[in-house]
């Protein structure tokens, strides 16, 4: 059974499109309940108590508890009963207190959507899947959280990162008006799960919508297997843990391409073709992944 991680915004386009993509691939989708840390306090409606800072993200004390005890102090085993593969889709920004390179608030008012409850839930879920070799596909925010859990380095804002590097950024990774998905190619490493899934050295026109990014996975169990040269900066577009049966993270949104074709959207042909996009979900659902 394939499961989709719990979300605070289950009606969001990325979330509903992931359900569509899994169903198009022949899957029956289970929506997971919220995973909670036993080290933190929650209200009756599962909101965290005294664990968020004034900007809305997980405070440092709570983040350290989650990183220290993770799934060992949680309800994740009960939530994942009967589940043998997991998808973690896109969503809001990740609390920078969970980063290996812990940071404060980025100060950008227009990009201040945080959900500490989902951060805790996703962090514990991914860590559990890694430790127990549960097949895992992570998308956009999901790939970022996979990298955070694995010890990767993040930037909270690509434009500021480019400014620090002295490079020009032309919003290649997100439509500045936030009305549609940007698109760009992804270069694929041949010796990778990503290549075996798609059969492509270059995936054209991937749907992209993010301003945070993974900037390094050096020293972690992850390998970079997909990149996009953005004005001289190799941006990470896909990572995988080759020691596990199936552990793939993509920064782009294959589910959007699938859902747009399924809905016969007018702009469907602007993005990656249906078969390539669907191949991610078909690969995760293969019977050969079952223990």
- What's the pLDDT tens digit per position in 115-126? 999 999 999 999
Q: What is the mean pLDDT of residues 135-149?
A: 98
pLDDT at res. 109: 64
- What's the pLDDT tens digit per position in 54-73? 889 999 999 999 999 999 99
**Pairing status of strand 247-250 against strand 233-240:** antiparallel
DSSP 96-163: GGGSSS-------GGG--B-HHHHHHHHHHHHHHHHTT--EEEETHHHHHHHHHHT-EEES-HHHHHH
With a pLDDT cut of 70, the percent of the chain lying above it is 97
Find residue 48's DSSP bridge partners: 42
Q: Is the pLDDT of residue 75 over 60?
A: yes
Q: Cβ neighbours of residue 237 under 8 Å, at least 6 residues apart?
A: 186, 187, 206, 226, 227, 228, 250, 251, 252
Q: Is the pLDDT of residue 271 over 80?
A: yes
How high does pLDDT run on average in the chain?
94
pLDDT at res. 197: 98
Indicate the pTM of the whole model.
Answer: 0.96
3-state SS, residue 233 = strand
Q: How confident is the model at residue 290 (pLDDT cuts 50, 70, 90)?
A: low
Q: Is the pLDDT of residue 51 over 90?
A: yes
* Backbone phi, psi, residue 154, to 5°: -120, 155
Q: What is the mean pLDDT of residues 138-155?
A: 98
- What's the pLDDT tens digit per position in 188-234? 999 999 999 999 999 999 999 899 999 999 999 999 999 999 999 99
Range in 16-20, 104-108, 121-125 with the lowest mean pLDDT: 104-108
pLDDT at res. 101: 84
Percentages of the chain per state (helix, strand, coil), in multiples of 5 = 35, 20, 45
| Cα 241 to Cα 147, 228, 247, 278, distances in angstroms | 10, 20, 5, 21
3-state SS, residue 251 = coil
Set out the domains of the chain in order of their start, with CATH numbers: 2-289 (3.40.50.880)
Q: What is the mean pLDDT of residues 3-9?
A: 97
With a pLDDT cut of 90, the percent of the chain lying above it is 87
Q: Is the pLDDT of residue 179 over 80?
A: no
| Cα 233 to Cα 136, 172, 228, 251, 253, distances in angstroms | 28, 12, 8, 16, 21
Q: What is the DSSP letter of 197?
A: H
Q: Which of 153, 169, 142, 157 is nearest to 238 (CA)?
A: 142
pLDDT at res. 277: 98
Q: Cβ neighbours of residue 32 under 8 Å, at least 6 residues apart?
A: 3, 4, 5, 6, 79, 80, 83, 86, 125
């Amino acid at each position: 059974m394939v499961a989709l991680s719990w979300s605070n915004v289950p009606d969001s386009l990325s979330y509903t499109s992931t359900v569509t993509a899994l169903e198009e691939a022949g899957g029956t989708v289970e929506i997971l309940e919220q995973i909670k840390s036993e080290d933190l306090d929650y209200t009756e409606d599962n909101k965290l108590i005294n664990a968020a800072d004034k900007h809305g993200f997980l405070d440092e004390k709570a983040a350290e508890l989650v990183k220290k005890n993770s799934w060992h102090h949680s309800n994740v085993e009960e939530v994942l009963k009967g589940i043998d593969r997991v998808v973690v889709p896109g969503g809001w920004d990740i609390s920078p207190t969970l980063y290996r390179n812990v940071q404060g608030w980025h100060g950008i008012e227009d990009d201040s959507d945080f959900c500490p409850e989902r951060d805790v839930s996703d962090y514990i879920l991914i860590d559990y899947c890694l430790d127990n070799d549960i097949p895992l596909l992570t998308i956009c925010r999901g790939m970022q959280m996979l990298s955070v859990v694995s010890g990767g380095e993040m930037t909270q804002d690509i434009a500021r990162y480019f400014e620090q590097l002295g490079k020009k950024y032309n919003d290649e990774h997100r439509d500045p008006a936030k009305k549609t998905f940007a698109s760009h190619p992804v270069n694929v490493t041949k010796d990778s799960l990503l290549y075996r899934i798609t059969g492509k050295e270059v995936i054209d026109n991937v749907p992209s919508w993010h301003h945070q990014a993974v900037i390094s996975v050096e020293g972690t169990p992850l390998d970079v297997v997909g990149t996009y040269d953005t004005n001289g900066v190799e941006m990470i577009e896909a990572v995988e843990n080759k020691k596990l049966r199936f552990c793939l993270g993509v920064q782009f949104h294959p589910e959007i391409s699938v859902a747009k074709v399924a809905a016969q959207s007018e702009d469907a042909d602007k993005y990656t073709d249906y078969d390539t996009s669907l191949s991610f979900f078909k690969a995760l659902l293969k019977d050969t992944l079952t223990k």
